[in-house]
Structure 1
């Protein structure tokens, strides 16, 4: 199916690995021009190098960074059609999961919201004038934790819940002006958050007295009640993101799509 993205210009944040890298790759495969924002490049991103890819080094904890990324996209490619706010998860230097409400202090909460909400707000603020010109779309990558809070990663879940609320508000304001805004809410995805040294798999292995392979392959899917019995593949998230970004989804706005292996059970 032609997603009608050929020649479109997309900004993807957090694009050096995991979901963001899969989104950038898929957009390029669909003929789009991609501005990939991340703190640094990666072998995966380097493998996509070409005339249709621009990497913009950016630390989204810097309040000025989102606007610089958007400006670089317009300067290089002359327009902006798609914004994918994918950057999120643990702020730089933070390891999750983090149990208990009393564990994070005020600074932890500020950092979590800075990375998972305020960076998105700033990117959208910078992008909206250009998207209004092109009739573009925004896809915010949230989390199943936004709708299934619990006594772990409380600050992260709250930030993602705020992102879901933001998406609905933006859609109500800007859909009548031709800009669609939607959310994709992944469940646990097999990314570096889980697999890197000291990541979620290692932390949970220490908490449960097992090993990282058991956590990833068995304990985590069981603990989270994943109906599929496995963590989600990043490409499965990317496919949903790119479809929502596409004109093929012209009547979809203000929606939230759970790509979570059956994590969320409620209606």
Structure 2
């Protein structure tokens, strides 16, 4: 299926690895010009991608990244706010409402909410000048499943869902579509790195890292598929939502979670 992305300009945050790298590669393979934003360059990017080094905890960084997309390619058609998860220096999961302090709450919201808000704020005028565009925000099933684990992260993603819906309502009539992809547990370095989620869970589950990834985590999260989500599966959903082929899809939440969310 031709996604009609050839020649379009896309900006992807958190593009050095995991979901962001998979999204950047997929959009480029579909013919888009990609601005890949991350603190450092990670995996090899395709030829149509330009890397922009930026720390999205810096309030000015999202606007500078959008400006670079305009400078390089003349505009912006697609924004993928993927940067998120544990902020630099933070390991998740962590359990208990009283565990994160004010500074940790602020850091979590800066990374998972405000970086996206600032990117959207910078992108909307540029997209309006082009007659519209598509914004895809990477959220989480935790946004609608409150609990004691990662409460600050889940709250930030819940707020991101609200912002996504609000922006879709305001700017949909002017041609800007906004959707979220709510990911379940995705097999990225959040899980696999030293000190990552797999090792943390292994510590309180009495298991080893590999068995957590292969069995313990899928069972604990009641994944129907029996495995963690592959980053490419998120990227494929993003590409479809970014495409004009999804022209009547806006304000929607697209689940790619291995069947983790059971609610209707």
Q: TM-score range by the shorter chain?
A: over 0.9
2:59 maps to 1:66: no
Q: Distance in 2 between matches of 1:251 and 1:133?
A: 20
Q: Report deviation, 1:29.
A: 0.5
Q: Look up the SS of the partner of 2:254 in the other structure.
A: strand
Q: Are the counterparts in 1 of residues 28 and 34 from structure 2 also a CA contact under 8 Å?
A: yes
Which residue does 1:38 correspond to in 2? 38
Matched pairs, number: 263
TM-score by length of 2: 0.99
Alignment of 1:147-186 (within 5 A): 147-186=144-183
Q: Which residue of 1 aligns with 2:77?
A: 81
The answer for the alignment partner of 1:90 in structure 2 is 86
Long gaps (5+) in structure 1: none
Please give the alpha-carbon distance, in whole angstroms, between the structure 2 residues aligned to 1:244 and 1:90.
25
1:3 alignment partner, SS class: coil
Distance 1:95 1:26 in 2: 28
Deviation at 1:49, TM superposition (A): 4.4
1:100-143 superposed Cα distances (whole Å, 9 cap, x missing partner): 00100000100000000000000000000111122111000000
Instruction: Please tell me whether the aligned partners of residues 21 and 45 of structure 2 are also in contact (alpha carbons under 8 angstroms).
Output: no
Q: Deviations over 1:55-79 (max 9, x none)?
A: 0000000000000100000001111
TM-score (norm 1): 0.98
Q: Which runs of 5 or more structure 2 residues have no equivalent in the other structure?
A: none
Instruction: Indicate the residue corresponding to 1:17 in structure 2.
Output: 17
Matches within 5 A, 1:105-120: 105-120=101-116
**Residue in structure 1 matched with residue 121 of structure 2 by the alignment:** 125
Secondary structure at the counterpart of residue 26 of structure 2: helix
C-alpha RMSD of matched pairs (Å): 0.6
- Distance in structure 1 (CA, Å) of the matches to 2:138 and 2:46: 24
